[in-house]
Amino acid sequence: SVRMSLAEAFTLVVVVVCLRGLAQWRAAVLAVDLRLATVDALRLGLIDDLYRSDWSFLAMQRRSHLVSSLTIEVERVHNALAMVLRLVVGTLVLLATAAVAVLLAPLVGGLAVLALVVVAFAAARSTRGATLLGRAMTERMAGFGAALSDSLAALRVMRAHDASAAWSELVGSEAARVRDVRR
């Protein structure tokens, strides 16, 4: 029932697109700030806990595992947060789009919502498998990092005793274990 000229409609579309772009930019900046603050707090908290931990605990830890936890694993948290934030925003946009679709065309919109529910249940099942693979990847990467770190620490002794083939085999087998999980 609203009447507007082509120029007015075009201007309205441009304004809406610009506002949407600004909102998306602001949301992206906020999401990055949230992820970085969370990762920094996690990393610094882990470092503080490590510095205050009992010597008996520290003596049993491999340095490569500690470094991996403070670098690689914290970066994985950063990536997971990015995915969760993307999922939340995507879900909100999807819900709004579904609501508009149902309002505009109830039958077609309702069928689309039903299809989305089926896809969501299928995706939830695959998430459990991804969680198990993520844990396995953490363990395998720790083993690979430890073998690599140990081999580099023993490089002089390794070369002096001509043991590089044995170390190459060990590091290669750990890399194969990582590859199996990734595959």
Beta carbons within 8 Å of 70's beta carbon, 6+ residues apart: 43, 46, 47, 50
The position carrying tokens 């299809």 is 115
Token duo for residue 48: 């503080």
Confidence of residue 18 (pLDDT cuts 50, 70, 90): very high
Sign of the C-alpha dihedral computed for residues 157, 163, 167 and 170 taken in this order: negative
pLDDT single digits (tens) 93-135: 888 888 888 888 889 888 988 998 898 888 777 777 777 888 8
